[in-house]
Amino acid sequence: MNGYNFAYLDEQTKRMIRRALLKAVAIPGYQVPFGGREMPMPYGWGTGGVQVTASILGADDILKVIDQGADDTTNAVSIRHFFQRVAGVETTTSTATADVIQTRHRIPETPLRNGQILVFQVPIPEPLRFIEPSEQETRMMHALEEYGVMHVKLYEDIARYGHIATTYAYPVKVDGRYVMDPSPIPKFDNPKLDGNPALMLFGAGREKRLYAIPPYTRVESLDFEDHPFEVQTWEHTCALCGSDHSYLDEVITDDKGGRMFVCSDTDYCQTRRGEVA
Amino acid sequence: MKKPALERPVLLDVQDITRLYGPGKGCEEIDFRLHAGEVLGIVGESGSGKSTLLRVLSGLEAPDAGRVIYRRLSNEPEAARQVNEPEAARQVNEPEAARQVNEPEAARSGQHVVDDDEATSDFDLDLYAIGEARRRALLRLEWGLVHQNPRDGLRMGVSAGANIGERLMAQGQRHYGRLRETGQEWMRQVELDPGRIDDAPRTFSGGMQQRLQIARTLVTRPRLVFMDEPTGGLDVSVQARLLDMLRTLVRQLGLSVVLVTHDLAVARLLAHRLLVMRRGRVVETGLTDQILDDPQHAYTQLLVSSVLTP
Amino acid sequence: MHSTTNAQPRLTVEALQKSFLLHGQGGIEIDVMRDLSLTLHAGECLVLAGRSGIGKSTLLKMLYGDYRIHQGRIRLHFDDGELELESLPAYAWHGLRRDVIGYVSQFLRVVPRVATVDVVMEPLLARGADEHQSRQRAETLLARLNLPERLWQLPPGTFSGGEQQRVNIARGFIGEHPLLLLDEPTASLDAANRDVVVALISEAKARGSALLGIFHDEEVRNRVADRLLPLDGSLGACAADTQENLS
């Protein structure tokens, strides 16, 4: 598209972001500040993820964008169109064929492979923020590994609900060192963070922070010995593909209480139906 | 009859501390030793520098000059070092080299510690030379600080049980059931209803909040506790109960305490020994009764005679 | 006069002086004691005599570390050496008071709202004694001193003078200190309770404690004293009833 640099951002900005990303990869889970730019979309719509994607995208890359697992929701469609226009890259809905996948709130069900990059959109990058409003203090707490308060939050969950009620943005410890907010993915997806062959990058546009989990990195979900980390399970199977092991969305079908459970990962569901059919 | 063993090891060796915000504002040339098992009261009017001194002693504020040496017993493991065991933390921690460089220096000033034969050992920690990581871990795990206002020492947003358990969780305890048991034990210890373990501190009265703060601080059995007007702002009847509780805890846990108070009656009942401060300096030190019954310095005499019932 | 004359003394006081410098009153200095010396043996009760305000309480307070020692020597003697109190660092007094020197003052000074029996047993708990046994000892003493059992669980703050005095005596005697300082322990007691105190003192002597006391009651004094030490000679001319004014 005329008038714009490839993938919208100028090369200086991309270089700056790449430098920050290199640092983030070098220190897994550590939040690296970067000079976030104004993007032609409001904060909260994935400006952090878009800047990361713009900085790493090559002309030959195939891009996939999902929102809550779906390729066809507004946010996913508009970001996909954005990169089609400003970078002219090929796009796909297939997890397996994509080189770069930008995501909001999910990790695809199809196992990722080495060489793929998953870019997360992050609203609040700081896992300690709920208890400590001062940025200076949270950075100090990370530096000194003062992570006792993270368990205070989990303790409080059990005290209040009888179990750890945190179901998304469930805090993890990366490579035995930094406690990290995995973005608001369901805790169902947390095990996929551990030892994943793909590179995972996280971008927070409003807070101007980047962080990363390099391929094959140890990622543990915080828990208690007598209340170990567990993922959600469903009594149902996917109404469309019959999957009994994927993350399901509840869909209300009428005004009379009718509802069904379907895979939140649309590509996965369709692929299975293709296979099943 | 044999001579009684009166020697007590020095726990905190305070060497010529000066911290001034401006001329006459802060504390100057404070030099004393706190012995194991002692409750040391720091008394003086507001503005006498006692709170500044407490901040410096408790690791919250570096002095302009002087040193605070924490003398650990040789057989104790340092909780502060254990907690930061993970590899990466070492890099953030003060490098070992810095610690070793620092040691001979401490040994050289050994003659400073005249009232004790004990030589400066390898286990001494120079509070402001050990680096922030170890200092903060020390404060969090081996020491305790009780604030005058319980809101400053509690997490008001989480339950009483979470408040008590936090230091244990910071030490790496990861068993919810045991954390909860310990929380209830401590609530009983400080005379709070263990049935209220899931209630938020804001539903507690001021006196109960203060007791909760004390439980939260003492749960890791710190050796050294700093208290800033712990009974200030409480009703007189609540004060008495808290004083008795503090005395009992000091005895049962073998705590050493630095207590800042402007209330000489509180000092009389809690402190073994007093430092009297005026305009940033210590004007008189001695046994608590001695200071209150036979004050030597003009200012101490004025202070003692100005109180209704010291 | 008593059996322990030849034994090593437990306490010796030599050339003790005391004066108070009052900064608030133009820096006047008041002498309350001059050149006082005494020797006290184990198993002996020495009673300080002399008119009121002559410095008897002052001496007890100096021996207890309550008043500073500026001039003179106070030594405690043990089998394996002696201890100079005038040069003792402040922190060392904590242990000395806990284990060696006991003090029964005229006034009860305790944390308000603490039960009487807890007040009495505290000196034992401070030594790490078993709580149950300490409580029993405290109750035995309170019973001996005829303090009604219904008062044991109440704080002594609201008690009558005589009742408070008995709580104070129980607290003072429970620790069985080798050196016991008694400042008018029988002042507000009736005859029956005076007898109990006299018995407690006799038992302490029999245990080998050394006692130094002030008793205004002549009858009690004659019953407990092995020796009398008149203080009048040790006092400077300018001293009057200043001690009372100070406290």
Secondary structure class of C86 (helix, strand, coil): helix
DSSP secondary structure code for residue C51 in this structure: S
- Write down the pLDDT at residue C3: 46
Residue B119 has pLDDT above 50, yes or no: no
Q: pLDDT value at position A229?
A: 96
In 3D, which of B266, B272, B263, B270 has the Cα closest to residue B303?
A: B263
Nearest by CB to residue B296, choosing from C68, C94, C99, is C68
Q: What percent of chain C has pLDDT over 90?
A: 71
Q: Length of chain A, please?
A: 277
Q: Do A177 and B86 touch (CB under 8 A)?
A: yes
CA distance A210 to A56: 13
Hey, which bits of chain C come out as E strands? 9-22, 28-41, 45-49, 71-78, 81-84, 101-104, 179-183, 210-214, 227-230
| C188 against A209, higher pLDDT | A209
Integer Cα distance of A199 and A221 in angstroms: 18
Sheet with C9-22: list strands edge to edge: C28-41, C9-22, C71-78, C81-84
Q: Do A145 and B174 touch (CB under 8 A)?
A: no
Q: Which residue has the higher pLDDT, A1 or C50?
A: C50
pLDDT band at B92 (very low <50, low <70, confident <90, very high): very low
Nearest to A48 by CA among A166, A250, A189, A211: A211
Residue B252 pLDDT greater than 50, yes or no: yes
Query: How far is the C-alpha of A170 from the C-alpha of A185, rounded, in Å?
Result: 8
User: How far apart, in whole angstroms, are the C-alpha atoms of residue A217 and residue A194?
Assistant: 6
Q: What is the mean pLDDT of chain B?
A: 84
CA atoms within 13 A on the CB side of B197: 22
C7 touches chain B (CB under 8 A): no
Are B287 and C83 an interchain contact pair (Cβ–Cβ within 8 Å)?
no
Interface of B with C in 2-31 (CB under 8 A): 2-8
> The pTM is what?
0.85
Among A79, A96, A95, smallest CA distance to A8 is for A79
- Catalytic positions of A, written as ranges: 29, 238, 241, 263, 269
Query: Chain B window 221-240: which residues touch C at a Cβ cutoff of 8 Å?
Result: 237, 240
**So what's the pLDDT on residue C187?**
85
Taking the CA atoms of residue B13, residue B19, residue B23 and residue B27 in that order, the dihedral angle to the nearest 10 degrees is: -40
pLDDT at A2: 64
Q: Is B215 exposed, middle or buried (0-12, 13-18, 19+ CB in 10 A)?
A: buried
DSSP secondary-structure letter at C192?
H
- Which of chain B's residues have a Cβ under 8 Å away from the Cβ of A140? 132, 136
Residue of higher predicted confidence among B304 and B82: B304
Q: Does residue B90 carry a pLDDT above 50? A: no
Mutate to test the interface with B, among A27, A139, A144, A227 (most CBs of B within 10 A): A144
Taking the CA of residue B56 and the nearest CA in chain C, the distance in Å comes to 22
Interface residues from chain B to A (CB-CB < 8 Å)? 83-84, 86-89, 92, 132-133, 136-137, 140, 155, 157-159, 161-162, 165-167, 169-171, 174-177, 179-180, 197-198
Per-residue pLDDT, B79: 55
**What band does B49 get if pLDDT is binned at 50, 70 and 90?**
very high
Query: Would the CB atoms of B244 and C20 count as touching at under 8 Å?
Result: no
What is the model's pLDDT at position C75?
Answer: 96
How far apart are the C-alpha atoms of A113 and A215, rounded to whole Å? 9
Mean pLDDT, residues B109-113 = 36
- In residues, how long is chain B? 310
The candidate with the shortest Cα–Cα distance to A39, out of A213, A203, A200, is: A203
List C-alpha distances in Å: C70 to A103, A232, B21, C19, C229.
82, 78, 37, 9, 22
Inform me whether the C-beta atom of residue C81 falls under 8 Å from chain B C-beta atoms.
yes
Q: Which residues from chain B sit within 8 angstroms of residue C22, using beta carbons?
A: 301
Cα–Cα distance for residue pair B272/B270, rounded to 1 Å: 7
CB neighbour list of residue A180: distance below 8 Å, 6 or more residues apart: A29, A127, A171, A172, A173, A174, A211, A213
Work out whether strand C71-78 and strand A178-180 pair parallel, antiparallel, or are unpaired.
Answer: unpaired
Q: Strand runs (DSSP E) across B140-280, as ranges?
A: 143-146, 224-228, 256-261, 273-278
Which residues of chain B does C59 touch, with a Cβ-Cβ cutoff of 8 Å? Answer: none
User: What is the average per-residue pLDDT within A52-59?
Assistant: 97
What's the gap in Å between the CA of B303 and the closest CA on chain A? 40
Two structure tokens written together for B38: 């002692």
| pLDDT of C73 strictly over 50 | yes
- pLDDT for C5-30, tens place per residue? 456 799 999 999 999 999 988 889 98
**pLDDT exceeds cutoff 90 at B225:** yes
Give all chains having 3 or more CB-to-CB distances under 8 Å with chain A.
Answer: B
Is B10-142+222-304 assigned to CATH 3.40.50.300? yes
CA-CA-CA-CA torsion sign (B81, B86, B87, B92): negative
Contact A160 B159 (CB under 8 A): yes
> Per residue in A143-167, pLDDT tens?
999 998 899 999 999 999 999 989 9
Choose, out of C32, C111, C247, the residue to mutate when testing the contact with B (most B CBs < 10 Å): C111
With CA atoms as reference, the chain B residue closest to A143 would be B92
- CB < 8 Å to C112, chain B: 240
Q: Classify B108 as helix, strand or coil.
A: helix
Q: Determine whether the interchain pair B290/C66 forms a contact, defined as Cβ–Cβ distance below 8 Å.
A: yes
Give the pLDDT score at B80. 52
DSSP classification of residue B171: T
The answer to whether B286 contacts C90, with C-beta atoms less than 8 Å apart, is yes
Nearest CA in chain A to B170: A148
pLDDT at B309: 58
Residue C112, both tokens: 């308000």
User: Residue B117 pLDDT > 90, yes or no?
Assistant: no
Specify the residue for token string 């379907």: A262
Domain range annotation of chain A: 11-221, 233-277
Chains B and C touch (3+ CB pairs under 8 A): yes
The backbone region for A6, taken as left when phi is positive above 0, alpha when psi lies in -120 to 50, beta otherwise, is beta
Residue C246 has pLDDT above 80, yes or no: no
Which DSSP category does C233 fall into?
G
ipTM: 0.85
Note every long-range contact of A74-77, with CB atoms under 8 Å and residues 24 or more positions apart, other chains counting.
Answer: A75/A45, A75/A46, A75/A104, A76/A104
Is C79's CB within 8 Å of B2's CB?
yes
In chain A, alpha helices (H):
11-26, 47-56, 74-87, 135-143, 148-161, 190-193, 266-276
Quote the CATH superfamily of domain A11-221: Bacterial phosphonate metabolism protein PhnH (3.40.50.11310)
The Cα of B89 is separated from the nearest Cα of chain A by a number of Å equal to 7
Chain segment C198-228, per-residue pLDDT in tens: 999 999 999 999 999 999 888 999 999 999 9
Residue C83: beta bridge partners? Answer: C76
Domain boundaries of chain B, sorted by first residue? 10-142+222-304, 156-221
Report percent pLDDT > 90 for chain A. Answer: 91
| Chain A residues with CB within 8 Å of chain B CB | 131, 140, 143-149, 151-153, 155-156, 158-160, 175-177, 223-227
Comparing CB atoms, the residue among B133, B159, B169 nearest residue A151 is B169
Pull the structure tokens for residue B162: 């979470």
**DSSP state for residue C232 in the 8-state scheme:** G
Q: What share of chain B is helix, strand, coil (3-state, %, to 5)?
A: 45, 20, 35
Mean of pLDDT over chain A = 94
Which among C78, C91, C111 has CB closest to B2?
Answer: C78
Confidence of residue B24 (pLDDT cuts 50, 70, 90): confident
Residue B114 pLDDT? 35
| Exposure letters C129-139 (e unless 16+ CB within 10 A, then b) | beeeebbebbb
Tell me whether B285 touches chain C (CB under 8 Å): yes
Produce one character per residue of A13-36: b if its CB has 16 or more CB atoms within 10 Å, e if not: bbebbeebbebbbebbbbbbebeb
List the domains of chain C with CATH numbers. Answer: 9-245 (3.40.50.300)
Q: What share of chain B in percent tops pLDDT 70? A: 83
**Taking a C-beta distance cutoff of 8 angstroms, is the pair B146, B230 a contact?**
yes
Token pair, residue B220, equals 């890791």
**Could you tell me which of C116, C187, C175, C184 has the C-alpha nearest to residue C151?**
C116
